[in-house]
Every structure is written in structure tokens, then in C-alpha cells.
Amino acid sequence: MDPLNHNAENIAASVRNVLSKWNLETKVNAIVTDNASAMIKSCEILQKRHFPCFAHCLNLVVQDCLEENSIKHVLTKCKKIVKFFKCSTIAYEKFKQAQGDNAYSLIQEVSTRWNSAFKMVERILATKEFLSPVLLSLSRAPDPLTADDIELLEDIQTILAPFDYVTTQCSSSSKVTSSLIVPLTNGLVEGLNDQFGRLKTVDGQQACRFLQDRARIRLFPFEERSTARLATIMDPRFKKEGFRSPFNAEQAAVLLERSLSTNTIAGADAEEGDSQETAVEPPVTPNAAEPLLKFLSSNIEKKKRTKKVDVILVMRHYFEGINSDISSNPLEYWRSNESDQPALAKLAKKALCVPATSTESERMFSKAGQIISERRSSLKPNIVDQLLFINKNWWITESNI
């Protein structure tokens, strides 16, 4: 693809080539990208469901907050302090000497990652008792943080910590993540509401309310998306209880019923051309000594089991079961219950395989940049592909050793 022509058609053509090469045309349930119009349009061209990257949406929520004047001034002050130490070898050496053994380094903010601002604040607060004396002892040093600044930074750390946790959980590449979006979003907003009364500063409270409002606008709509709905209700840890809205929980159940009806019913794949009704076990012939009950035979012969009845029974068995422990692995649950609930297990694999974020592709780009260095610029594309494949899938062999 021409790097200067990232339009929807070119993106779709590149993705189609990859899917064809790996024989994945019929196995891709959704494509996870940011909300760029070209990416959304390319998914329409490919006739694949588009799913917004949750980490990208989360990043937008926090970045909007970090630009608010109520906290921007103290973050700017932190950046100047970090930059001063990063640019002065003498200052950095004094800072490390002041800390003694196990000295911490300061962390610089990266504009493309919101949590780098959180890490910067976290590290400054961890070393606050050493920063001011060192800054005051050096010429041309920026102003040290005041007591009010420290209180505001502590509030910022408090309200951003849950966002950092959610980002880490949903960006994992080794566990199910799509089913975490809805429950963690609800827990995030509720957690901010609980923390509001513990904040020490007015600016911190304003930032907290701002984050709540932005989270509702950008993150609550995930509960209305089919991909997130199905993943949440198919996770035995959450089921219907993982939803904020009872209406959305019921809509997820309707989606589950519809998906089951068109896929696997009562443990057997629905064959093409099968009737919508299947006969039950052969009727039992009444005893000849009971002539008054002969009508049972004809009634039993007329009785049919519909697909809808089968689906309802399967879903009732699943929903009435006890929810799994919150720390358990949903894939292990479906592996253990595949023989008892084959229809649901098959659908669960398709629903839970969708990642919540596109961070894994970003990691691939970073790893490719490390492999293709100045000293290895002559590597052939197929060798790079193989090295990346081994790097990302080596854990499979390690888990079998």
C-alpha cells in the first residue's frame, strides 16, 4: 500500500490480501481500529464489523482532561522540572545522591500516551521530599512545587490511577479483553463517584467530574455495541450482571438468542435445509389395558420441539448457573463446559476472541522497528515476517515445555 495514500480503498485492499494469505476471510468477526473515517469505511468495504479501539477512546477521555486549565498549569510545572533534570547531568547526579541507595529516575511525559503523564506525576510524588531541596540548591532551576501543587498532584494521581488500571487490563495480549470493556467502564465511573469526596482540592474535584462526564459520553456507548454486548454476556464472570443498564442486558440476551438460533442448536450444528422443527424421541405406546389413554399416542406424535425452545433451554441453563469467580479465566470455563453446552461454547469462542484494543498491532510495529535497524536494513520481508511471528508466538512453545 502506498504510505502516502491511506484511503479506505487501499486499506481495505491491504487487509483483504492479509486475510486471503492466511485464509482468514470467514474467521474474522470484527476489525478493531481507531475511529478514523478511512478505517471505518474500509471495514464497510470488506463487509466486516468495525469495533472502536477501547484504549484509543480511553486515551481521548484522559487527554481532554489533561488539557483543562484547572490541572494543566501544575502538569506544565512538572514537565519543566523533569526537563531540567533530563538536560542537566549535574542536577541529575545531585538528585540521585540526595535519594541515596535505590534512587528513582524521573519519567518524562510522551504526548501520544496519556498514562505517561500519570507515571510522571506518580514518580514526582514518590521523590517529592528530595526534589525541592535539590532545585533550591541549583541556579537557573525551575520553581519547586508548592504545598498546594503537591495536594493537586495527589488528587490527579488518585483519579487517574483507575484509568491506568483499566488501560492495562484491556490492552493485555494474553487474556480475554473484549468482555472487560462494559464492566470496567461501569466500575470506572462508579469509582470516580466514590473518590470525589476524598479529593483535597477544588481543581481535583472539577477534574474528577470532567472525567466522569467524558467517560459517559465516549465509553458508555460500548454497552450498546453488539460485539461488546455479546462478549460481556458470554463471559461467565459477568453474564447479565456486568451491564449498567438492565435494558442493554436484555438486548444482549436477545442478541445471544438470535446468534444461537442461526448457529449451533442443542449441541448439534443446524444442517442446511433442516426443518425449523425436529421430532422428539419416539412416542411411548400406551398399555392396551388402558384404552382411555390411547389419545396420548396421537398427541405425543404431534408434539414437536422448535429451535426457539432449544435455545431458551440452553440459555436458561447458562444464566441460572452460578457466576464464575472474578479472577477466573472465561476460556477455561468454556473448555470445561464444552461437552455440556456445546452450542454456547462454540459461540463464546467467536465472541471472546475479539480484542478490546488495537495495541497488539502497535506492539508489532514497535518490534518491527527494533528488528529492522540500520545494521539489519537488508533483511528480506519474509525473514522479517518470520522473526515477528516467532517473537509473538514463542509463548506457545514455552507453555508446553
Q: Which residue has the cell 528480506?
A: 380
Q: What pLDDT is stored for residue 277 in this prediction?
A: 40
By percentage, how much of the chain surpasses pLDDT 70?
87
Round the CA-based radius of gyration of the chain to a whole number and report it: 28
Q: What pLDDT is stored for residue 274 in this prediction?
A: 38
- Whole-prediction pTM: 0.82
Closest to 61 measured CA to CA, from 189, 155, 173, 171: 189
Q: What pLDDT is stored for residue 400 in this prediction?
A: 55
Residue 372 confidence (pLDDT) above 90: no
Residue 380 confidence (pLDDT) above 80: yes
Higher-confidence position of 375 and 283: 375
Higher-confidence position of 283 and 228: 228
Q: What pLDDT is stored for residue 397 in this prediction?
A: 73
Q: What pLDDT is stored for residue 275 in this prediction?
A: 36
Q: What pLDDT is stored for residue 381 in this prediction?
A: 86
Higher-confidence position of 332 and 268: 332
Tell me the average pLDDT across 154-160: 96
Distances (CA, A) of 140 to 81, 99, 173, 323: 11, 21, 45, 60
